[in-house]
């Protein structure tokens, strides 16, 4: 995180050096927990705990849950288990389980017995859901109402449970089996007549998610309908949790980061995931492991480029000037392809393109890439005329039109193809498309050259 | 947008064909306004209005504000001005001004007199803020309280104003000059004793934004502190609007799209912005205008590659096999550079890297890229040994190490350099870095080749 006021870090270090308990406590309560956590994040885990342990409960847990996960794990790993149990007990249900899941198995087993039964069961229940699903991001701290209550009874109830709930602005009306009947907002409860029944105020058409739904779909749904919270139901229509608005932005940012890295051929298969880590703290090994796999794969893909060039050795030997324009032509093709791929990957991710539009969009891409190719072809013939003969100029301008078209069609199609194969369209990385565009570009270029320049090749080849 | 149930579109078309007012009205009230808008979006603007005009006020305005902006403008442009005035009056303050700003000047002038004075002034005030700032995304529909009220008086007041406010979950305590004194949430009001003073319940340490703050910073702040709404203050600390949680996700998605397109050398200078448009609806001209500028620039950047190759004509002529490995080497360099650039652009955008870390991260990149280069160098020497002599193999493996290092350092530095120059780091597009890496790569490659292979070049050159 970027610290807005770096001077605060030195102030914190000064207080830490004096080891004055009163000042450390004051520091912890002086600002928003997120701001305190941000400053503590600049310290080692020992120092961080030295500050944090001066915060009163439950603030201590709240600051802890704003720290990055690595630091949380380090701190928790060094504490006695009764302290860990206390910290976990005070955390919100979703933060608690996501920290718990990251702890070593040994630590998990030693802490579980120290927790109260309700929390233990909550952790067991929530940690069963697969990462990346609604179940894995939801919290159990939601409020429910029964339909027979009056508005004023409902408000009185919410008043009492408020401290333990993540939100009381949306409450869920359930029957005795906790099946979801409707949604009522605190706004509606306040506006309603005090004796009106919840049953009559509630909206029975609730937008919800299933436990197995992809977190990205959950975020998109909440964004579309402007929801503060979304209930998560199991297959029996029983409410088992809610996802709150503050998770939406986090999910969107994480998914965008994953797509960004995918487009640049950066692997997300490593653990920990590179996008979650501050660049200063990312280890050399992790950085190598995220970058090497695709670079290596692409080296071997590029052997086909080499083979293509070797096949046309005679043409190249005869007209060496062809080589001068090689990077220009294959780059233009790769660039147009990256553009087309990025437009499609992002449009598919934001819902601005549908899989079923593929053929329609392919037709459009032929037109767009055709126009781009002709303009770029004109530009290179302008360059060519000054630096090469008319024949070579004809070769490079014709090649430009065709390679830009080829690269663009590959670039726009690959994300659709990957989606159809149930793969992440963002795997259609710019480097992969560039490599494919290169191979195609080289074959187009040297075939055209061999055809148009056949007289020159024979003359030179005869030397 | 992707329609979840395409069958609903045909049902809507059937109802539209029968022109049955009752059924059309039922359709409008049958689902969430966002869902209705999604279906209407598939129609022409005339058809869309034919449906929409059956929705009762103010639902009509709400559905309208969920349509994409182009369709909104088309519909509004075809309506009599009293109808437009009515629609605008019912819209929320931020949606109203953002639609109004997009209308033609002629239409704006004809509609303004038809609006009530309060709305007219609200539009004038809000439209004065620069696009992309807190002022431009905020709404005027927020609730304020005076500090002397008791909790129960405050709740009673909120009850009355609720229908006109975008949120009543956060209310802002202001003095008689509307200077911000504190924040009180509805949750706190409900939990507090009914006779407690707002002054004593409120939190005086309010997190806020200034009207000129970048919308991206506003979104990041709201995400960091998990806020439902953020007050926007002018330079006199007077509250002039709020940004609500539902804007945050929209801002984050828009900014990510802009960065995505930036990284692929797609221009965001066009109007309308390509990221806002469904790919089916994007015009050929718009697509060409967003893609052509950088492609053309890069063609001219690539002239340096051509010049570099031409300079080493003798070396290439002497050892044509060097050409076979050219795409492989410059691609690997460009790929490593794109990876480094993407990691940095995204880390800077999500706050996982700081500008002040540049030199530290540069040192780290030397290590990472060095390791990557050595491994890739080993991989190409394996290929080289089968396809070229030992001298050429030495040239390509040495070149691989150095070009991967060069590309990576360019890639990781460019985003920092652009940030320092107050430019968008996402302008450091992969294609630009690829082109720079090419130029450097070609010079490194052919210098090394000329040096190591000097005996072969002299022998062949003597032919």
Task: Measure CB to CB from residue B155 to each of A190, A325, A380 and give the nearest one.
Answer: A190
DSSP letter, residue A181: E
Q: Helix, strand or coil for residue A240?
A: strand
Residue B110, CA distances (Å) to A67, B89, B114 in order: 54, 15, 8
Chain A residues touching B250 at Cβ < 8 A: 223
Task: Measure CB to CB from residue B317 to each of A260, A298, A320 and give the nearest one.
Answer: A320
Q: Which residue of A has its CA nearest to B435?
A: A331
Mean of the per-residue pLDDT values for chain A?
90
In angstroms, what separates the C-alpha of A3 from chain B's closest C-alpha? Answer: 9
Q: How far apart (Å, rounded) are the C-alpha atoms in residues A411 and A432?
A: 9
pLDDT tens sequence across A136-152 = 999 999 999 999 999 99
* Residue B38, both tokens: 């999604």
Top-confidence residue, A261 or A428: A261
| Residue A130 in this model has a pLDDT that exceeds 60 | yes
Spatial CA neighbour of B185 closest among B228, B129, B242: B228
Task: Measure CB to CB from residue B353 to each of A264, A279, A367 and give the nearest one.
Answer: A279
* Residue B124, both tokens: 């004038």
In angstroms, what separates the C-alpha of B109 from chain A's closest C-alpha? Answer: 32
- Beta-sheet pairing, A170-174 with A144-145: parallel
Confidence bin at A462 (pLDDT 50/70/90):
very low
Q: What are phi and psi of A172, to 5 degrees?
A: -110, 130
Q: How far apart (Å, rounded) are the C-alpha atoms in residues A279 and A273?
A: 12
* Residue B55, both tokens: 């929705």
Q: What is the predicted pLDDT for the residue at A276?
A: 77
- Quickly list H helices, A42-116: 45-52, 59-66, 69-77, 81-90, 93-102, 105-111
In angstroms, what separates the C-alpha of B6 from chain A's closest C-alpha? Answer: 11
Pairs of residues, one from chain A and one from chain B, whose beta carbons lie less than 8 Å apart: 350
Q: How many CB atoms lie within 10 A of CB A317?
A: 17
CB contact under 8 A, B279 and A343: yes
Confidence bin at A11 (pLDDT 50/70/90):
confident
Mean of the per-residue pLDDT values for chain B?
90
- Cβ atoms of residues A411 and A336 within 8 Å: yes
Q: What is the predicted pLDDT for the residue at A177?
A: 94
CB contact under 8 A, A335 and B294: yes
pLDDT tens sequence across A153-212 = 999 999 999 988 999 999 999 999 999 999 999 999 999 999 999 999 999 999 999 999
State the best of B339, B359, B365, B376 to mutate against chain A, taking most chain A CBs within 10 Å: B339
Confidence bin at A342 (pLDDT 50/70/90):
very high
Q: What is the predicted pLDDT for the residue at A279?
A: 85
CB contact under 8 A, B299 and A354: no
Top-confidence residue, A148 or B427: A148
State the best of B186, B279, B309, B438 to mutate against chain A, taking most chain A CBs within 10 Å: B279
Q: What is the predicted pLDDT for the residue at B461?
A: 47
* Residue A455, both tokens: 């007289």
- Cβ atoms of residues B36 and B13 within 8 Å: no
**CATH entry, A144-249, from 2.40.50.180, 3.10.580.10, 3.40.470.10, 3.30.70.260:** 3.10.580.10
In angstroms, what separates the C-alpha of B432 from chain A's closest C-alpha? Answer: 9
Q: What is the predicted pLDDT for the residue at A121?
A: 93
How much of chain B, in percent, has pLDDT values that exceed 90?
A: 68
Beta partners for residue A14, in sequence order: none
What is the DSSP secondary-structure string of B133-171?
A: BHHHH-BS---EE-TT-BHHHHHHHHHHHGGG-S-SSEE
Give the containing element (helix H, strand E) for A145: strand A144-145
- Cβ atoms of residues B93 and B60 within 8 Å: no
State the best of B186, B348, B352 to mutate against chain A, taking most chain A CBs within 10 Å: B352
CB contact under 8 A, A248 and B249: yes
pLDDT tens sequence across B221-267 = 999 999 999 999 999 999 999 999 999 999 999 999 989 888 888 88
Top-confidence residue, B369 or A391: B369
CB contact under 8 A, A250 and B383: no
Chain A residues touching B323 at Cβ < 8 A: 309, 316, 323, 326
The answer, yes or no, to whether the previous bond of B262 is cis (omega within 30 of 0) is: no
Top-confidence residue, B152 or A352: B152
Residue A186, CA distances (Å) to A189, A247, B145 in order: 5, 21, 18
Q: Domain residue spans in chain A?
A: 7-128, 144-249, 302-461
* Residue A89, both tokens: 């007990």
Confidence bin at A387 (pLDDT 50/70/90):
confident
Q: Helix, strand or coil for residue B133?
A: strand
Q: Quote the ipTM score.
A: 0.86
Chain A residues touching B162 at Cβ < 8 A: 187, 190-191
* Residue A168, both tokens: 């009381």
How much of chain A, in percent, has pLDDT values that exceed 90?
A: 68
Task: Measure CB to CB from residue A187 to each of B162, B287, B306 and give the nearest one.
Answer: B162
CB contact under 8 A, A327 and B32: no
Q: Which residue of B has its CA nearest to A315?
A: B320
Spatial CA neighbour of A97 closest among A63, A65, A52, A144: A65
Task: Measure CB to CB from residue A159 to each of B191, B357, B438 and give the nearest one.
Answer: B191
State mean pLDDT over B179-190: 95
| Residue B462 in this model has a pLDDT that exceeds 50 | no
Q: How far apart (Å, rounded) are the C-alpha atoms in residues A457 and B436?
A: 32
Phi-psi region of A300 (alpha: psi -120 to 50; beta: other; left: phi over 0): alpha
Say which residues have a Cβ less than 8 Å from residue A409's Cβ, sequence separation at least 6.
A340, A362, A365, A366, A369
Confidence bin at B460 (pLDDT 50/70/90):
low
Looking at domain B302-461, which CATH architecture does it have? Answer: Orthogonal Bundle (1.10)
Q: How many CB atoms lie within 10 A of CB B420?
A: 11
Spatial CA neighbour of A142 closest among A112, A167, A125, A123: A167
Q: How far apart (Å, rounded) are the C-alpha atoms in residues A67 and B376?
A: 37
pLDDT tens sequence across A237-261 = 999 999 999 999 999 998 999 898 8
- Quickly list H helices, B264-389: 284-301, 303-311, 313-318, 321-324, 326-349, 358-387
State the best of B244, B335, B419 to mutate against chain A, taking most chain A CBs within 10 Å: B335
Q: How many CB atoms lie within 10 A of CB A445?
A: 27
State mean pLDDT over A22-37: 91
The CATH code that applies to domain A7-128 is: 1.25.60.10
Q: What is the predicted pLDDT for the residue at B3?
A: 55
Q: Which residue of B has its CA nearest to A36?
A: B225
CB contact under 8 A, A260 and B345: yes
The answer, yes or no, to whether the previous bond of A227 is cis (omega within 30 of 0) is: no
State mean pLDDT over A351-379: 93
DSSP letter, residue A428: S
Chain B residues touching A343 at Cβ < 8 A: 261, 264, 266, 274, 279, 287
In angstroms, what separates the C-alpha of B5 from chain A's closest C-alpha? Answer: 13
* Residue B431, both tokens: 């294609």
Task: Measure CB to CB from residue A372 to each of B280, B288, B431 and give the nearest one.
Answer: B288
| Residue B440 in this model has a pLDDT that exceeds 80 | yes
Task: Tell how far CA A230 is from the center of its chain.
Answer: 20
Q: Which residue of A has its CA nearest to B292?
A: A372
Confidence bin at A281 (pLDDT 50/70/90):
confident
DSSP letter, residue B67: S
Task: Measure CB to CB from residue B316 to each of A224, A320, A330 and give the nearest one.
Answer: A320
State the best of A368, A381, A428, A435 to mutate against chain B, taking most chain B CBs within 10 Å: A368
Beta partners for residue A209, in sequence order: A232
Q: Is the dihedral of CA A186, A191, A193, A197 positive or negative?
A: negative
Angle among Cα A143, A146, A150 to the nearest 5 degrees reads 105
Q: How far apart (Å, rounded) are the C-alpha atoms in residues A292 and A271?
A: 15
**CATH entry, B144-245, from 3.10.580.10, 3.40.50.10860, 1.20.1260.10, 2.40.30.30:** 3.10.580.10
Q: What is the predicted pLDDT for the residue at B463?
A: 39
| Residue B63 in this model has a pLDDT that exceeds 90 | yes
State mean pLDDT over B324-353: 91
Q: How far apart (Å, rounded) are the C-alpha atoms in residues A282 and B380?
A: 28
Say which residues have a Cβ less than 8 Å from residue A460's Cβ, sequence separation at least 6.
A317, A318, A319
| Residue A1 in this model has a pLDDT that exceeds 70 | no
State mean pLDDT over A415-419: 91
Q: What are phi and psi of A202, to 5 degrees?
A: -65, 155
Q: What is the predicted pLDDT for the residue at A3?
A: 55
- Cβ atoms of residues B263 and A335 within 8 Å: no
- Cβ atoms of residues B416 and B425 within 8 Å: yes
Q: What is the predicted pLDDT for the residue at A4?
A: 58
| Residue A382 in this model has a pLDDT that exceeds 80 | yes
Spatial CA neighbour of A145 closest among A166, A170, A121, A118: A170
């Amino acid at each position: 995180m970027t610290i807005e006021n770096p001077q605060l870090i030195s102030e914190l270090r000064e207080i830490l050096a004096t080891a004055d308990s009163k000042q450390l406590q004051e520091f912890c309560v002086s600002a928003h927990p997120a701001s305190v956590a941000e400053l503590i994040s600049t310290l080692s885990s020992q120092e961080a705990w030295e500050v944090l342990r001066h915060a009163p409960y439950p603030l201590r847990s709240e600051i802890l849950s704003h720290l990055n996960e690595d630091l949380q794990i380090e701190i928790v790993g060094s504490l006695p288990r009764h302290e860990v149990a206390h910290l976990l007990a005070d955390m919100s249900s979703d933060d608690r389980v996501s920290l718990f899941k990251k702890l070593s198995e040994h630590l998990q087993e030693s802490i579980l017995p120290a927790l109260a039964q309700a929390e233990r069961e909550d952790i067991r229940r929530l940690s069963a859901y697969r990462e990346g699903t609604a179940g894995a991001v939801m919290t159990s701290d939601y409020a429910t109402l029964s339909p027979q209550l009056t508005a004023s009874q409902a408000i009185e109830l919410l008043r009492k449970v408020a401290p333990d709930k993540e939100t009381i602005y949306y409450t869920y009306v359930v029957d005795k089996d906790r099946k979801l009947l409707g949604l009522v907002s605190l706004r509606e409860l306040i506006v309603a007549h005090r004796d009106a029944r919840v049953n009559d105020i509630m909206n029975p058409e609730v937008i919800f998610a299933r436990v197995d739904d992809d977190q990205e779909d959950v975020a998109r749904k909440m964004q579309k309908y402007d929801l503060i919270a979304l209930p998560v139901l199991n297959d029996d229509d029983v409410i088992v949790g809610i996802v709150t608005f503050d998770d939406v932005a986090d999910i969107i940012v994480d998914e965008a980061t994953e797509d960004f890295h995918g487009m640049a051929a950066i692997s997300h298969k490593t653990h920990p995931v590179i996008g979650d880590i501050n660049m200063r703290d990312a280890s050399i090994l992790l950085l190598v492991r995220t970058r090497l796999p695709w670079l290596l794969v692409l080296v071997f893909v590029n052997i086909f480029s080499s083979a293509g060039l070797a096949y046309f050795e005679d043409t190249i030997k005869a007209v060496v000037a062809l080589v001068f324009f090689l990077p220009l032509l294959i780059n233009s093709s790769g660039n147009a392809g990256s553009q087309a791929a990025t437009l499609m990957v992002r449009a598919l991710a934001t819902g601005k393109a549908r899989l079923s539009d593929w053929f329609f969009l392919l037709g459009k891409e032929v037109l767009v890439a055709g126009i781009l190719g002709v303009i770029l072809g004109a530009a290179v013939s302008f360059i060519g005329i000054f630096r090469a003969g008319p024949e070579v100029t004809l070769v490079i301008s014709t090649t430009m039109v065709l390679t830009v078209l080829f690269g663009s069609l590959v670039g726009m199609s690959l994300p659709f193809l990957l989606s159809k194969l149930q793969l992440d369209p963002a795997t259609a990385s710019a480097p992969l498309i560039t490599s494919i565009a290169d191979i195609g570009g080289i074959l187009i270029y040297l075939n055209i050259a061999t055809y148009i320049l056949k007289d020159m090749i024979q003359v030179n080849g005869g030397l």
